[in-house]
């Protein structure tokens, strides 16, 4: 451990309101949830901050609650809980993302709120929340507010959250009936890996057409992003026909809209060469994942 | 899983060899009772830290201790404090313990600090300012050969070796086809679980006592003698429980041990240096990167006629072990095949990167990766099956290697290949995969998705390799290893050797070999700690030599001990209680009993260092792998589905441990083939963390089916040959071949990362 642990101060709140008081105090402490990102930085001596607010006593921030509109997930809910919760079967992409975060040990500690607060462009769950148009509830001593997830990430590791605010919960609306979702984490190995590209796509389908398309990426820009130009290129066009339907074997309209979506990605994404991958690979794979989403959709049971 | 394992349940009463007895040290490790270096509590200990160069090459202008920092209680040492020679003694003795006025690689140690509080020691490290005037650095093999800057001699070449046999021109003129290729492999980190760690103390008699995580106690011992100008008797080196080595603790412990000793020498206090993972990956040794250019001649029927092999390895900034790694790589470059005409030219070059060193396989994985990829290229050019081409040319008894070595016994090349072909159902499996791949392509073209929209292809590849056991050439003669056994006070037989348990099962294997000869249970045998104060120099724990060479000496000692005691008792000894009884009577009547045996060159083995001709090794072990992969054509990710391997190791003394060596080595080979890539930034290791230097996890480990083939070697104990390194040689080329089968594109550089495979597919127009 390169960080000097003897210099570290950890505050333990009695409850949420106490936590909000403490985080507003000077010097402002860093919220500590599962610690799975923070401890890596402390071990490497790369975390200069020394005052932390331990969120673990805040039971109110845990748990998963379903309603008619969607599901509300407490910010301290772990990926293990998300992975195993029966009520999330209509959000298979979120469950898939939770199952691919780190390994079992990481999933037991790491939280959904921590994944957001850490604001890594590679955060596994973030494209899922973006593609599902999640809303994030935030609290401070000044009160509560809600913010759409796509307005949250303002710059590299920067959030539209004030330093005295805490993430309370995440609301994910249920997808429309018959919607198709795909999550892909393209990494280097099958566990404990940080993604080269992470993707979530959701197709809301009406008849044979793609009524609403949501595509989101991680590790493809300084922040997790929605690919709006690519979404526009797909919206309104028809799904590819499965074999036997439509004209046999014809690639049909959506192949050209898929190509248009791939081209449009250059407006949406700005990947870089870094320690884990390179720009060319990332751009190419980003486009191919849209094609995979369309193949999955084409073969999904008709509604 | 393997048939070998199934057999181990049958225990023949007094027998130990061939039985998977409990590991000697297993309970301590599993219960946490084992004390690794960092677990040792030593009163008054200081914690040492190393100030290193941040540039790959330069002149040290000034070293300043920040005047604003509180230096109270901090011990500072640099090269001027070294009482003896400023050198880490090994072969060429060109590496300083601490830099003097120039640095030749990033992370080169310049200055040492220590404090009793590890946090203060770390703060002190950061309070040392080193000003270095950068010089032009040579960072790659290409830079070195192009003499971008001269960093060694007048050509940047540490060592050149040429091995030639037959008439190359004639061989190529006999060929119907001449095939060329170039293959590359990169650095690889050993990634033992326990980082490098040493503890040093001054002794009352003016000497040094150094303990730590290491493979070769006498290497550290001899290095300390030179650094501190001490006679051998004033130095004592002890191996503590060690969490893995893989070659990474062959030579580096002399460096870190020297640093700890220097701080202890200056301060008079015990000093511990324990690297964290970041420092260990950034600063310590790696596998040598290699570039191999091959030209091979072959006849239409698949008979090999000529091989011209040009090898360049990146040695890093100091020569250290490069000459011997290069030598082993060159000797293995032609693989286990008959080549009537062959020339191997090998050069080890200098670059301004941390010195590359010992790593499981020691050069042989690099050259055999290239050769095996080339064999597949030859097979493809001939339209011949990959197993058939190998089988046709695989060595048999009486065949001759490039150094002129006649293979006289224990040649399992064809057997391991046949076993792997049979167990993988090679031909049928290849056809079935091709049919499934074609069906997947048709399905995708008609927009009918399979596999959740993924476009997956499978492939099956094969490889055949060999690995010489023991030191190369006259190395074992020069080592002249000495092993001993004696009786402890309770009448237990005790093995005294300097060879180390580093997770591979050494102590258990020695106990078994001694027990077998003494006709007692293995757990009755005591194993002395590897401590240069109490064990003879039985040589280093490297080169797959420990069982075959040192194990053989232990078995001889044990046999002699039994004969001596039976002569004394005037009757045969029956079992452990009887042994202890006789032994105690012996001790009372005659005093101590100590038996020693020194290595003797087996008859008929000749080697000439000058001409590089003769018997490079007493014997070779052989291995074959059939590996099935699945490639995602969109993401270019490769998943290993299954591994079948057969390995001829002469005799498995402990079948479970031997299979464990094979499984572990295979997984390490898969990591090298697919995942493990050192990334560099301005001459420094960029990905020096476990989050970004990627090794396989258990989730990446495929089923590995191991078949142990036992073709005995007459000079190994119970027929045993080497097993430690062999498994590392085989996986990588089989993975490349399997990917080629899946995608139609043969990649020529490892690791085959998704990025690299995508580029290769794109270049091939796919």
CB proximity list for A226: less than 8 A, separation 6 or greater: A130, A131, A150, A214, A215, A216, A268
> In B151-283, which residue ranges form alpha helices assigned H by DSSP?
168-174, 217-228, 252-267, 277-283
Chain B residues closer than 8 Å to A298 by CB: 447, 449
List, by residue range, all CATH 3.30.365.10 domains of chain B.
Answer: 141-187+287-367, 406-471+613-763, 481-598
How do residues B547-605 score in pLDDT, each as one tens digit?
999 999 999 999 999 999 999 999 999 999 999 999 999 999 999 999 999 999 999 89
pLDDT mean over A262-276: 96
The complex's ipTM?
0.95
CB-based contact B453 A194, cutoff 8 Å:
no
Q: Does B451 touch chain A (CB under 8 A)?
A: no
- Quick check: B360 and B668 in contact, CB under 8 A? yes
CA dihedral B570, B576, B581, B586 (to 10 degrees): 60
* Model confidence at B12: pLDDT above 50: no
Mutate to test the interface with B, among A37, A188, A280, A300 (most CBs of B within 10 A): A188
In a 3-state reduction of DSSP, which class is residue B762?
A: helix
DSSP per-residue letters across B365-430: HHHHHHHHHHHHHHHHHHT--HHHHHHHHB--TT-B-TT--B--S---HHHHHHHHHHHTTHHHHH
Q: What is the distance in angstroms between the Cα of B759 and the nearest Cα belonging to chain A?
A: 8
- At residue B669, φ and ψ (nearest 5 deg) are -70, -35
CATH topology of domain A5-54: 3.30.43
Q: What is the mean pLDDT of chain B?
A: 96
pLDDT mean over A155-164: 96
Chain A residues closer than 8 Å to B453 by CB: 182, 292-296, 299
- Give Cα separations from A97 to A74, A126, A148, A175, A183 (angstroms): 17, 9, 20, 16, 7
Which residues 129-168 on chain A approach chain B with CB closer than 8 angstroms?
Answer: none
- Give Cα separations from A24 to A20, A54, A141, A165, B179 (angstroms): 6, 14, 8, 8, 72
pLDDT at A255: 66
Mutate to test the interface with B, among A191, A239, A295 (most CBs of B within 10 A): A295
Tell me how far apart the alpha carbons of residues A138 and A159 are, in angstroms, rounded to a whole number: 12
* Model confidence at B269: pLDDT above 60: yes
* Model confidence at A189: pLDDT above 90: yes
Q: What is the distance in angstroms between the Cα of A163 and the nearest Cα belonging to chain B?
A: 28
Chain B residues closer than 8 Å to A43 by CB: 276
Bridge partners, residue B234, by sequence: none
Chain A residues closer than 8 Å to B451 by CB: none
pLDDT bin (cut points 50, 70, 90) of residue A250 is very low
Percent of chain A with pLDDT over 70: 94
Q: Does B692 touch chain A (CB under 8 A)?
A: yes
Chain A residues closer than 8 Å to B697 by CB: 103, 189-192
Q: Which of A191, A192, A299 sits opposite B448 (nearest CB)?
A: A299
pLDDT bin (cut points 50, 70, 90) of residue A242 is low
Percent of chain B with pLDDT over 70: 98
Q: Which of A189, A248, A275 sits opposite B697 (nearest CB)?
A: A189
A with B: how many residue pairs have Cβ under 8 Å apart?
Answer: 103
CB proximity list for B168: less than 8 A, separation 6 or greater: B306, B308, B341, B342, B343
pLDDT at B4: 47
* Model confidence at A303: pLDDT above 60: no
pLDDT mean over B18-44: 96
Tell me how far apart the alpha carbons of residues B40 and B199 are, in angstroms, rounded to a whole number: 9
Q: Does B121 touch chain A (CB under 8 A)?
A: no
Closest C-alpha among B291, B349, B402 to residue B159: B349
Q: Does B675 touch chain A (CB under 8 A)?
A: yes
Q: Does A45 touch chain B (CB under 8 A)?
A: yes
* Model confidence at B447: pLDDT above 90: no
CB-based contact A251 B447, cutoff 8 Å:
yes
Q: Compute the half-sphere exposure of residue B400: CA atoms within 13 Å on the CB side of its CA.
A: 11
CB-based contact B276 A194, cutoff 8 Å:
no
Which residues 57-116 on chain B approach chain A with CB closer than 8 angstroms?
Answer: none
- Quick check: B485 and B558 in contact, CB under 8 A? yes
Chain A residues closer than 8 Å to B758 by CB: 281, 284-285
Q: Which of B123, B449, B637 sits opposite A298 (nearest CB)?
A: B449
Tell me how far apart the alpha carbons of residues B555 and B485 are, in angstroms, rounded to a whole number: 10
Is the domain covering A59-173 a CATH 3.30.465.10 domain?
A: yes
Domain B141-187+287-367: assigned CATH number: 3.30.365.10
Question: Alpha-carbon torsion A182, A186, A189, A191, what sign?
Answer: negative
pLDDT at B10: 39
Q: Does B755 touch chain A (CB under 8 A)?
A: yes
Chain A residues closer than 8 Å to B700 by CB: 189-191
Domain A179-299: assigned CATH number: 3.30.390.50
* Model confidence at A244: pLDDT above 50: no
Q: Does A298 touch chain B (CB under 8 A)?
A: yes
**Closest chain B residue to the Cα of A5, Cα to Cα:** B119
pLDDT mean over A216-238: 97
pLDDT at B446: 74
How do residues B733-753 score in pLDDT, each as one tens digit?
999 999 999 999 999 999 999
Chain B residues closer than 8 Å to A186 by CB: 635, 637, 754
Q: Which of A7, A288, A298 sits opposite B634 (nearest CB)?
A: A288
Chain A residues closer than 8 Å to B50 by CB: none
CB-based contact B755 A278, cutoff 8 Å:
yes
Q: Which of B123, B686, B758 sits opposite A284 (nearest CB)?
A: B758
Burial level of A167, CB count in 10 A (0-12/13-18/19+)? Answer: buried
How do residues B654-695 score in pLDDT, each as one tens digit?
999 999 999 999 999 999 999 999 999 999 999 999 999 999
**Closest chain B residue to the Cα of A37, Cα to Cα:** B691
* Model confidence at B375: pLDDT above 90: yes
Q: Which of B119, B444, B691 sits opposite A6 (nearest CB)?
A: B119
Tokens representing residue B345 in the block = 């030219």
Q: Using the 8-state DSSP alphabet, how is residue B174 labeled?
A: H
How do residues B297-333 score in pLDDT, each as one tens digit?
999 999 999 999 999 999 999 999 999 999 999 999 9
Q: Does A284 touch chain B (CB under 8 A)?
A: yes
* Model confidence at B8: pLDDT above 60: no
Mutate to test the interface with B, among A189, A197, A200, A251 (most CBs of B within 10 A): A189
CB-based contact A188 B686, cutoff 8 Å:
no
pLDDT bin (cut points 50, 70, 90) of residue A56 is very high
Tell me how far apart the alpha carbons of residues A298 and B291 are, in angstroms, rounded to a whole number: 46
Which residues 12-41 on chain A approach chain B with CB closer than 8 angstroms?
Answer: 40
pLDDT at A241: 66
Question: Which class would CATH give B481-598?
Answer: alpha beta
Q: Does A236 touch chain B (CB under 8 A)?
A: no
* Model confidence at B1: pLDDT above 50: no
Which residues 174-213 on chain A approach chain B with CB closer than 8 angstroms?
Answer: 182, 184, 186, 188-194, 196-197
The H or E element that residue B164 is part of is strand B157-165
- Quick check: B374 and B184 in contact, CB under 8 A? no
CB-based contact A249 B447, cutoff 8 Å:
yes
Q: What is the distance in angstroms between the Cα of A267 and the nearest Cα belonging to chain B?
A: 21
Mutate to test the interface with A, among B281, B442, B453 (most CBs of A within 10 A): B453
Tell me how far apart the alpha carbons of residues A75 and A62 are, in angstroms, rounded to a whole number: 6
CB-based contact B278 A44, cutoff 8 Å:
yes
Q: Which of B122, B448, B692 sits opposite A243 (nearest CB)?
A: B448
Q: Does A87 touch chain B (CB under 8 A)?
A: no
DSSP per-residue letters across A72-133: EEETT-BHHHHHH-GGGTT-HHHHHHHHHSS-HHHHHH-BHHHHHHHT-TT-TTHHHHHHTT
CB proximity list for B719: less than 8 A, separation 6 or greater: B410, B650, B651, B710, B711, B712, B713
pLDDT at B745: 98
Question: Which class would CATH give B406-471+613-763?
Answer: alpha beta
Q: Does B122 touch chain A (CB under 8 A)?
A: yes
Q: Where are the domains of chain A?
A: 5-54, 59-173, 179-299
Q: What is the distance in angstroms between the Cα of B341 and the nearest Cα belonging to chain A?
A: 42
CB-based contact A295 B700, cutoff 8 Å:
no
């Amino acid at each position: 451990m390169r960080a000097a642990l003897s210099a570290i101060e950890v505050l333990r709140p009695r409850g949420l309101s106490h936590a909000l008081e403490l985080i507003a105090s000077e010097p402002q402490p860093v919220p500590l949830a599962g610690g799975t990102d923070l401890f890596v930085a402390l071990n490497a001596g790369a975390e200069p901050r020394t005052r932390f607010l331990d969120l673990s006593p805040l039971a109110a921030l845990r748990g998963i609650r379903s309603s008619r509109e969607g599901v509300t997930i407490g910010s301290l809910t772990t990926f293990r809980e998300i992975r195993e919760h029966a009520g999330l079967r209509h959000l298979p992409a979120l469950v898939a993302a939770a199952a691919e975060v780190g390994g079992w040990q990481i999933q037991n500690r790491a939280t959904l709120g921590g994944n957001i607060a850490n604001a890594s462009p590679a955060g596994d769950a973030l494209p899922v929340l973006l593609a599902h148009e999640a809303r994030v509830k935030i609290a401070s001593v000044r009160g509560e507010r809600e913010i759409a997830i796509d307005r949250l990430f303002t710059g590299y590791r920067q959030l539209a959250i004030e330093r005295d605010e805490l993430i309370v919960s995440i609301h994910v609306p249920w997808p429309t009936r018959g919607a198709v979702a795909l999550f892909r984490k393209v990494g280097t190995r099958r566990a404990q890996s940080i993604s080269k590209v992470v993707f979530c796509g959701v197709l809301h389908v009406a008849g044979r057409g793609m009524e609403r398309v949501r595509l989101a990426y991680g590790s493809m820009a300084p922040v997790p992003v929605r690919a709006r130009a690519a979404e526009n290129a797909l919206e309104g066009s028809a799904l590819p026909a499965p074999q036997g339907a439509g004209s046999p074997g014809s690639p049909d309209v959506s192949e050209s809209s898929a190509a248009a979506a791939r081209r449009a990605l250059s407006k949406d994404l700005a990947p870089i060469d870094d320690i884990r991958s390179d720009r060319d690979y990332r751009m190419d794979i980003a486009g191919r994942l849209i094609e995979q989403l369309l193949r999955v959709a084409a073969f999904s049971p008709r509604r | 899983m393997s048939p070998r394992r199934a057999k181990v349940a049958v225990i023949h009463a007094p027998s130990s060899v061939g039985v998977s007895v409990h590991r000697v040290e297993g309970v301590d490790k599993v219960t946490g009772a084992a004390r690794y270096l960092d677990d040792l509590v030593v009163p008054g200990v200081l914690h040492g830290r190393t100030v290193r160069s941040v540039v790959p090459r330069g002149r040290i202008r000034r070293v300043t201790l920040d005047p604003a920092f509180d230096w109270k209680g901090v011990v500072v040492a640099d090269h001027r404090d070294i009482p003896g020679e400023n050198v880490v003694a090994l072969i060429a003795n060109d590496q300083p313990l601490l830099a003097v006025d120039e640095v030749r690689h990033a992370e080169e140690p310049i200055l040492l600090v220590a404090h009793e509080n590890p946090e203060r020691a770390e703060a002190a490290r950061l309070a040392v300012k080193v000003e270095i005037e950068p010089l032009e650095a040579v960072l790659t093999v290409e830079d070195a050969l192009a003499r971008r800057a001269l960093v060694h001699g007048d050509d940047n070449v540490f060592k050149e070796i040429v091995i030639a046999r037959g008439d190359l021109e004639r061989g190529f003129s006999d060929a119907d086809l001449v095939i060329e290729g170039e293959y590359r492999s990169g650095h690889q980190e050993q990634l033992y679980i326990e980082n490098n760690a040493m503890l040093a103390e001054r002794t009352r008699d003016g000497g040094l006592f150094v303990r730590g995580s290491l493979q070769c106690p006498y290497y550290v011992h001899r290095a300390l003698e030179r650094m501190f100008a001490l006679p051998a008797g004033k130095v004592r080196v002890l191996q503590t429980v060690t969490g893995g080595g893989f070659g990474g603790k062959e030579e580096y412990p002399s460096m870190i041990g020297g640093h700890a000793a220097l701080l202890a020498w200056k301060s008079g206090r015990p000093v511990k240096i324990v690297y964290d993972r970041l420092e260990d990956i950034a600063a310590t040794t790696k596998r040598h990167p290699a570039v191999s250019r091959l030209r091979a001649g072959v006849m239409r029927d698949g008979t090999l006629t000529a091989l011209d092999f040009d090898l360049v390895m990146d040695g890093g900034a100091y020569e250290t072990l490069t000459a011997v790694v290069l030598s082993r790589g060159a000797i293995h470059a032609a693989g286990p095949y008959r080549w009537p005409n062959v020339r191997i030219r090998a050069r080890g070059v200098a670059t301004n990167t941390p010195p590359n060193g010992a790593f499981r396989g020691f050069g042989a994985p690099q050259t055999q990766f290239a050769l095996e990829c080339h064999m597949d290229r030859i097979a493809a050019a001939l339209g011949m099956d990959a197993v058939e081409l190998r089988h046709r040319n695989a060595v048999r008894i009486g065949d001759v290697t490039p150094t002129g070595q006649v293979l006289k016994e224990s040649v399992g090349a064809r057997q391991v290949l046949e076993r792997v072909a049979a167990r993988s159902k090679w031909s049928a499996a290849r056809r079935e995969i091709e049919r499934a791949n074609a069906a997947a392509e048709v399905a995708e073209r008609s927009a009918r998705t399979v596999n959740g929209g993924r476009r997956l292809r499978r492939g099956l590849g094969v490889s055949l390799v060999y690995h010489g056991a023991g030191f190369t050439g006259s190395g074992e003669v020069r080592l002249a290893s000495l092993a001993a056994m004696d009786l402890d006070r309770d009448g237990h037989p005790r093995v005294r050797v300097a060879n180390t348990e580093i997770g591979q099962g050494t102590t258990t294997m020695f106990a078994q070999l001694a027990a077998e000869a003494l006709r007692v249970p293995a757990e009755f045998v005591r194993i002395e700690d590897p401590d240069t104060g109490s064990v003879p120099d039985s040589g280093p724990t490297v080169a797959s030599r420990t069982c075959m060479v040192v194990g053989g000496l232990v078995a001889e000692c044990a046999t002699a001990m039994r004969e001596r005691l039976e002569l004394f008792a005037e009757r045969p000894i029956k079992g452990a209680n009887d042994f202890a009884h006789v032994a105690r009577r012996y001790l009372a009547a005659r005093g101590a009993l100590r038996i020693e045996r020194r290595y003797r060159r087996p008859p008929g083995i000749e080697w000439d260092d000058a001409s590089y001709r003769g018997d490079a090794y007493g014997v070779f072990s052989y291995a074959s792998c059939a590996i099935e992969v699945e490639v995602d054509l969109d993401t270019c990710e490769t998943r290993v589905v299954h591994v079948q391997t057969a390995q001829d190791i002469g005799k498995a003394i402990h079948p479970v441990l031997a299979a464990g060596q094979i499984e572990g080595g295979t997984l390490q080979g898969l990591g090298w083939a697919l995942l493990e890539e050192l990334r560099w930034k301005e001459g420094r290791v960029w990905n020096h963390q476990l989050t970004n230097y990627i090794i396989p996890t258990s989730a990446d480990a495929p089923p590995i089916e191991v078949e142990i083939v036992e073709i005995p070697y007459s000079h190994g104990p119970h027929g045993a040959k080497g097993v430690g390194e062999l498994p590392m040689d085989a996986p990588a080329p089989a993975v490349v071949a399997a990917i080629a089968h899946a995608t139609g594109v043969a990649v020529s550089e490892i690791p085959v990362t998704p990025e690299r495979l995508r580029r290769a597919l794109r270049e091939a127009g796919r």
